[in-house]
Amino acid sequence: MTAPKLRLATVWLGGCSGCHMSLLDLDEWLIELAARVELVFSPIADTKRFPESVDLALVEGAIANEEHLALITLVRRRSRVLLSLGDCAVTGNVTALRNPLGTAASILQQIYVDHGDPRGHVPTGSAIVPALLDRVLPVHAVVPVDCFLPGCPPPAPRIRAVLEALLAGEPPPATPEMIRFG
């Protein structure tokens, strides 16, 4: 009997999707990966609801709005291992560049009104776009994180090294080459 496939999820929060692009950069190794995992949730898959009993969740992006906050809580509850993938998840990075500018209300005012050309107005009343949080946070500031892979984005070979270790049930390599912000 073959071993059950590892249930893999990838999550896209407040980031540019560059980390997912880097994941796709694994090229033909993805075929090998597909033989060993079942992709149960991902922005590149069709599922809309985060499933139960996920073995490994790769999380790209920072916690920047209410939807991210709700989703990461669910992801943590339903995942055995949570990996912060890339600088936005690990540090807040570019997504958190707005933090020194003040609260969500102040930022919307600055962007849409003060620096708007032509001057706009702060969008209100719509539930289509999730409300911004006052402060962008790295994932581990909200829920416990099991491993971290910095990089903007982390290059594909580093993602592969981490995945190979985790698939083998080992801790990811922690050499200096694996830790590179930016």
Partner 1 sequence: MAAKTLTIDGTLVSAREGESILEAAREAGITIPTLCHLDGLSEVGACRLCLVELTGSRRLQPACLTPVAEGMEVRTSTERLREHRRAIVELLFAERGHVCAVCVASGACELQDLAARLGVTHVRYDYLAPACTVDISHPRFGIDHHRCVLCTRCVRACDEVEGVHTWDVAGRGTAARVITDLHVPWGQATSCTSCGKCLHACPTGAIFQRGSSVAELKRDPGVIALVVAARKERW
Binding site for partner 1 (CB under 8 A): 84, 87, 90-94, 96-97, 99-101, 135, 138, 140-141, 145, 147-150, 152, 174, 176-177, 179-182
Kindly tell me which of 58 and 145 has the beta carbon lying closer to partner 1.
145
- Least distance CB 134 / partner 1 (angstroms): 12
Residue with tokens 């809309």, as numbered in its chain: 48
Kindly tell me which of 61 and 92 has the beta carbon lying closer to partner 1.
92
Phi, psi of 2 (to 5 degrees): -80, 150
SS3 116: coil
For residue 180, the 8-state DSSP code is -
The tokens describing 9, both together, are 């999820």
- Least distance CB 17 / partner 1 (angstroms): 14
Kindly tell me which of 34 and 97 has the beta carbon lying closer to partner 1.
97
Residues 6+ apart with CB under 8 A from 76: 82, 143, 144
- Least distance CB 87 / partner 1 (angstroms): 6
Kindly tell me which of 19 and 23 has the beta carbon lying closer to partner 1.
19
Is residue 71 within 8 A of residue 100, CB to CB? The reply is: no
Is residue 136 within 8 A of residue 94, CB to CB? The reply is: no
- Least distance CB 24 / partner 1 (angstroms): 19
- Least distance CB 26 / partner 1 (angstroms): 21
Residues in the chain: 182
Give the span between the Cα atoms of 27 and 50, in whole angstroms.
25
